[in-house]
Amino acid sequence: MDTQSEWNQLVFDTNKPAKWWHQRRAKIIGISFVIFVALTISVVLILEFSIWSPKNSYSTTTTTAQPSVWRSTGNMNTRREGHVAILLKNGKVLVTGGSDH
């Protein structure tokens, strides 16, 4: 009788359900899910930066500005408006822009 109870215990231990993470199917599904997520993220990033990125224009537009013309202002004793005055390090004043009024 004692042998029968040991045999029953062995059969019970063998047939008892394993924890879900110890099962082969759960491992395969888990690893497959991780690989699927990694591949999905990779494909989305590749598409984001290669296919869906804005295309560069093959035609270029070049604009050239007219060269500035230097004019002397004459006597600085007359009133000016719309100008910019900058005090230089040597103590002189540089006045640019504006017009005589």
Q: Is the dihedral of CA 44, 48, 52, 55 positive or negative?
A: negative
- Domain range enclosing 41: 19-52
pLDDT in tens, 54-64: 666 666 777 77
pLDDT in tens, 23-58: 788 888 889 999 999 999 999 888 887 776 666 666
Determine the Cα–Cα distance for residues 25 and 17; give it in Å rounded to an integer.
13
Domain tally, the chain: 1
Q: Is residue 40 part of a domain?
A: yes
Q: Is residue 5 part of a domain?
A: no
The pTM assigned to this predicted structure is 0.35
The chain-wide mean pLDDT, for the chain, equals 76
Q: Which residue reads 């899910």 in tokens?
A: 33
Q: Is residue 83 part of a domain?
A: no
